[in-house]
Amino acid sequence: MKVIKFLMTMVLGATAMSAVAQDFSDPRYAKWGETPEQRKENILASSYLKEEVDNHNFNSAAAFLQQLIVNCPAASENIYANGVKLYKQKINRAETLAEKRTYVDSLLWLYDVRLQHFASHPKRGKAYLLERKAREYLTYKDSDREGVAEAFEAAIAAQVETSGVADPEVVAIYFKNICDDYSNDIVDAMTVVNIYDANAKFFENITPEQEEFKKQFETCFATSGAASCENIEAIFSKKLADNPNDEATLSQAFGLLARASCESDFFIQVAEKYYSIKPSSDVAMRLAQVFQNNKNFDKANQYLREALAAETDPAEREKLYVRIGILDMSMNNIGEAVEAFGEVRNLNPDNAYVPYFLAQCYVSGAKACSGLAHDAVYWVAYDLLMKAAPMLEALPEGEGVETAENARKLAATYRKVFPTKEECFFAELNDGSTYVVNCGYARGIATQVRPRE
């Protein structure tokens, strides 16, 4: 420690000697004081401030800082840069909450004083300083929710005043805090909606590096609970009325409406317009679901098949064929449904939904059959359902558990309508022998004879 103090004394001494050698009557030193003596003293104090902060002598550093702010507050940005370091160290070392609050207030006050003297700095002026202050406010006074919001609003306003736009990162941080406030019942839904609407424009024409902030902004709104279908429509109905073909606005509106599971006429209007400008299987799938829910099966089928025509990924085509097959079943287009599930099986023989739905298609197609030919279809359907149940249960995240249970219940029902012993006897069919279905959509499928119990 003695060695360190000795070295520091030498450094400070060297600084002092350098200051003594300078002519402080030169006008370039005028910002440091009115007289050469004052200028010399304040320049030395600035050097001592940095050295004392670096060496954790915070009380003496605070005295130098006070001297500089009183005597020459516009002399150098370094006064405030070192002052910020000083008070952050004091905040971290505060022994009581009251002491910490005092140091936090002093830290924020430093930004206010610096702003008075350096607001017009070309790089670190008003916009820069208010952004830094807002971040410090959030770090050290996050419990003051109104103060946090006001600090960020001032920073964003200053950025717009300076450059015409706000920094997407700052906007994203601000909006997340607003959404947090809504979750904690500090602000209402329309406050969130209005702030979203006022700041969404700052995410237009952004750089690829800023896309993550746009994603954060959109996700906060979509998951906040304030993004109801009515609120989203209130935001975008006027925007789209003024510019109905704007792809960016349509994309934004569609994404929010879809996340909110909206199925209103406005959603359909937005989605269809967006799809007409930029067709994609995702939009088509969402439209198909809405039309299917509204019992408009023809429209649903149209969009599913358009999505299929545009999709090249085998996994996505598999999903589309499943949806088409289910829709065809809803429309009683059983033959088309069988074809669709056949395509699914070609793409993925292990798809768990194929045997489940094909079983029902075969039973539905057996209505055109009679007698043993009709009842024998239930052998095939039963086998398919019993095959489907464990496959459905094995789907990830429990996706198919409920369907697997239904498959077993349906299989038990089908078993009750197996051909009777008498039917099998008169058809000369022995228990356990092979039988090939000769009627309906299951025609040609081999199964095993099992008389009804």
Residue 245: strand, helix, or coil:
coil
> Domain spans of the chain?
1-118, 119-226, 228-278, 374-453
Question: What is the DSSP secondary structure assignment for residue 203, as one 8-state letter?
Answer: G
User: Considering the entire predicted model, what is its pTM?
Assistant: 0.60
Residue 197: what residue type? D
**Helix (H), strand (E) at residue 325:** helix 314-330
pLDDT at 176 over 70: yes
pLDDT at 285: 87
For 81, 174, 212, the CA distances from 280, given in Å and listed in that order, are 52, 33, 23
Q: How many CB atoms neighbour CB 65 within 10 A?
A: 24
pLDDT at 23: 82
- Spell out the CATH class of 119-226: mainly alpha
Residue with tokens 């909606």, as numbered in its chain: 193
CA distance 399 to 377: 28
Neighbouring-strand partners of residue 448: 434
State mean pLDDT over 381-389.
Answer: 96
- CA within 13 Å, CB half, 31: 11
pLDDT at 6 over 60: no
For 46-81, write each residue's pLDDT tens digit: 999 999 999 999 999 999 999 999 999 999 999 999
pLDDT at 21: 56
pLDDT at 227: 82
For 25, 37, 119, 168, the CA distances from 32, given in Å and listed in that order, are 11, 10, 19, 38
CA distance 166 to 174: 11
CA distance 418 to 377: 8
For 182-199, write each residue's pLDDT tens digit: 999 999 888 998 899 889
State mean pLDDT over 150-161.
Answer: 97
Neighbouring-strand partners of residue 434: 448
For 99-138, write each residue's pLDDT tens digit: 999 999 999 999 999 999 999 999 999 999 999 999 999 9
Cα(first)–Cα(last) distance of the chain, in Å?
A: 97
CA distance 143 to 382: 63
CA distance 311 to 314: 8
Kindly tell me the burial class for residue 330, based on how many C-beta atoms sit within 10 Å of its own C-beta (0-12, 13-18, 19 or more).
middle
Residue 260: strand, helix, or coil:
coil
pLDDT at 8 over 90: no
pLDDT at 35: 94
pLDDT at 12: 46
For 228-264, write each residue's pLDDT tens digit: 898 889 888 988 999 999 998 899 899 889 888 899 9
Percent of the chain with pLDDT over 90: 79
Kindly tell me the burial class for residue 452, based on how many C-beta atoms sit within 10 Å of its own C-beta (0-12, 13-18, 19 or more).
middle
CA distance 279 to 14: 72
For 15-49, write each residue's pLDDT tens digit: 444 445 578 888 899 999 999 999 999 999 999 99
**By C-alpha distance, which of 280, 343, 353, 277 is closest to 314?**
343
Q: Which of 94-103, 107-116, 301-310, 442-451 has the lowest mean pLDDT?
A: 301-310
